[in-house]
Chain A
Amino acid sequence: AQSVTQLDSQVPVFEEAPVELRCNYSSSVSVYLFWYVQYPNQGLQLLLKYLSGSTLVESINGFEAEFNKSQTSFHLRKPSVHISDTAEYFCAVSAGNTPLVFGKGTRLSVIA
């Protein structure tokens, strides 16, 4: 079975500062990794995903995540955050044909 640990439940950061949201996973088989974002009063939206190939994946709004197999990590980063990035971020893992397993989430609060 797979599991996901999001090490920080809350991350406050000033606007235009960089941010890293940490995610570690556990699995005995190869995995696919995802980050979802949930804005206030909205549903979960896919931010980015790693299936295979390049270990660095990017989203259209400036986030990136790097798959590190040796560290079993998939940390999410952004070099300069905006107020509009305030949301809850969930890391998720799947071992191929299995339903996604989510972490508990990290609440990112961007401070003006």
Chain B
Amino acid sequence: DTGVSQNPRHKITKRGQNVTFRCDPISEHNRLYWYRQTLGQGPEFLTYFQNEAQLEKSRLLSDRFSAERPKGSFSTLEIQRTEQGDSAMYLCASSLDFKDYGYTFGSGTRLTVV
């Protein structure tokens, strides 16, 4: 069990560019979650998957954001045409089925849009 892995750890991009983050969950976990955390705030839910199916998307998630989880393994989160307001820590977490309410979080990807 190597935990939840997120890459890259840091990303600096110019406004208007596209970025993609990757999350590798714990292998036996079938649920995968994306959250966003800004300074002084708690994690805000973005979206989650059960296996390869995307079950819920937050209203916070604009159409510039898209997430995939092909084959129910790793997941990617893409942000198109980045804006300065997208600067945040993007967190990925995984868990076993809904009976297991303890999420295991990765260390996050810190995005800075300049």
Q: How far is the CA of A103 from the CA of B43 in the complex (A)?
A: 8
Q: How far is the CA of A44 from the CA of B106 in the complex (A)?
A: 8
Interface residues on chain A, number (Cβ under 8 Å)? 25
Q: How far is the CA of A97 from the CA of B41 in the complex (A)?
A: 24
Chain B interface residue count: which class? 20 to 34
Instruction: State how many angstroms separate the Cβ of A23 from the closest Cβ of chain B.
Output: 11
**Do most interface residues of chain B lie in helix, strand or loop, or is the interface mixed?**
loop
Q: How far is the CA of A93 from the CA of B104 in the complex (A)?
A: 15
Contact (Cβ within 8 A) B105 A100: no
Q: Which chain B residues border A44 with CB–CB below 8 Å?
A: 43, 91, 93, 103, 105
What number of A-B contacts does a CB cutoff of 8 Å give?
53
Across the A-B interface, the 9 shortest Cβ-Cβ residue pairs:
A102-B42, A44-B105, A43-B107, A43-B105, A46-B102, A97-B98, A102-B43, A99-B45, A104-B42
Q: Is A56 interfacial (CB-CB < 8 Å)?
A: no
Q: Is B85 interfacial (CB-CB < 8 Å)?
A: no
Q: Is A63 interfacial (CB-CB < 8 Å)?
A: no
Question: Which residues does A use to contact B, with CB under 8 Å?
Answer: 4, 6, 9, 32, 34, 36, 42-46, 49, 51, 90, 92, 94, 96-97, 99-105
Q: Which chain B residues border A43 with CB–CB below 8 Å?
A: 4, 91, 105-108
Instruction: State how many angstroms separate the Cβ of B4 from the closest Cβ of chain A.
Output: 8
